[in-house]
């Protein structure tokens, strides 16, 4: 089964899949509202706004597994993201990205190594995955890679232009 077909709920609790997002390229990011990397929301929203007309969607997956930095309810997360960072990209339900309760989407994503050869468990909030070719291509980026990083942007553009 493709990663695009795996079931997930939206932040508001509605069942969906990544395929339902209808984007050519999806940037999957595990997010948190009380993290030192939380300001990356600004850059993620800028990517989403700039490239959505060409087929990109950023998709945020709130996760509370790293320092309990996403403690909020779905309503609190939605309010924080929209008012503090103007987030318009889709947010999914709060999930586990590591451990026995890891969501099936992250089972697929964590099998992929980044440019440094790191695969397996998610290291921290804001780890990024460019998912293209209907889920057939996944490129992983460290949480420390900023949304405006030249390599990340080039990867997105490459798949949008394919």
- List pLDDT tens digits, range 86-111: 999 999 999 999 999 999 999 999 99
Confidence of residue 134 (pLDDT cuts 50, 70, 90): confident
Beta strand 56-62 with 128-132: parallel, antiparallel or unpaired? Answer: unpaired
Q: Active-site positions?
A: 35
- List pLDDT tens digits, range 30-74: 999 999 999 999 999 999 999 999 999 999 999 999 999 999 999
Q: State the pTM of this model.
A: 0.97
Domain count, the chain: 1
CATH number, domain of 59, equals 3.40.30.10
In terms of residue numbers, what domain contains 76? 3-161
91, β-bridge pairs: 60
């Amino acid at each position: 089964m493709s990663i695009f077909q795996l079931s997930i709920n939206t932040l508001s609790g509605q069942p969906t899949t990544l395929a339902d997002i209808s984007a050519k390229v999806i940037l999957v990011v595990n997010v948190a509202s009380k993290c030192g990397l939380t300001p990356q929301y600004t850059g993620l929203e800028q990517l989403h706004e700039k490239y959505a007309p060409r087929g990109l969607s950023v998709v945020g997956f709130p996760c509370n597994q790293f320092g309990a930095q996403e403690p909020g309810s779905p309503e609190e997360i939605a309010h924080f993201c929209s008012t503090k960072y103007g987030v318009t990209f889709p947010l999914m339900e709060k999930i586990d990205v590591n451990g026995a309760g890891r969501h099936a989407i992250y089972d697929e994503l964590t099998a992929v190594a980044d440019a440094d050869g790191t695969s397996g468990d998610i290291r921290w909030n804001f780890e990024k995955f460019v998912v293209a070719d209907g889920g057939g291509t996944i490129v992983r980026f460290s949480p420390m890679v900023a949304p405006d990083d030249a390599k990340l942007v080039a990867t997105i553009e490459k798949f949008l232009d394919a």
